[in-house]
Amino acid sequence: MARPVIAIVGRPNVGKSTIFNRIIGDRLAIVEDKPGVTRDRIYGTGEWNGISFSVIDTGGIEIEGEDELIRLIRVQAELAIEEADTIIFMVDAKAGITRADEEVAQLLYRSQKPVVLAVNKVDNLQRMDDIYEFYGLGFGDPVALSGAHGTGIGDLLDAAVAKLPDAQEEEYDEDVIKVALIGRPNVGKSSLVNAILGEERVIVSNVAGTTRDAIDTPFEHDGQRYVLIDTAGMRKRGKVYETTEKYSVMRAMKAIERADVVLVVINGEEGIIDQDKHIAGYAHENGKAAVFVVNKWDVVEKDDKTMQQFTNTIRDHFLFMSYAPIVFLSALTKQRLGKLLPVVNRAAEQHAMRVPTHLLNEVVADAVAVTPPPTDKGRRLRVNYVTQVAVKPPTILIFVNEPELMHFSYERYLENKIRAAFEFEGTPLRLFTRRKSDQE
* Binding residue numbers: 10-17, 57-61, 120-123, 183-190, 230-234, 295-298
Partners of 91 in the β-ladder: 119
- How far CA 407 is from CA of 374, 381, 404, 413, 434, in Å, comes to 9, 9, 8, 10, 13
Instruction: Confirm if 180 and 214 have CB atoms less than 8 A apart.
Output: no
Identify the H or E element spanning 99.
helix 99-111
Strands 207-208 and 177-182: unpaired
Rounded to the nearest 10°, the torsion over CA 335, 255, 216, 297 is -10
Positive or negative, the Cα torsion across 104, 109, 111, 113? positive
Residue type at 126 in one-letter notation? Q
Could you tell me which residues are annotated as the binding site for GTP? 10-17, 57-61, 120-123, 183-190, 230-234, 295-298
Whether a cis peptide bond, with omega within 30° of 0, leads into 393 is: yes
Coil vs helix vs strand at 418: helix
Residues 6+ apart with CB under 8 A from 120: 14, 15, 18, 19, 90, 91, 92, 93, 145, 146, 147
Query: Distance from CA of residue 266 to its chain's centroid?
Result: 17
Helix, strand, coil share of the chain (percent; to 5): 40, 25, 35
Q: How far apart are alpha carbons 396 and 429 in whole angstroms?
A: 8
Give the CB-side neighbour count of residue 141, counting CA atoms within 13 A: 7
Residue 194's closest CA among 238, 163, 170, 228? 228
Dist CA 145 CA 154 (whole Å) = 9
Rounded CA separation 16/326 (Å): 40
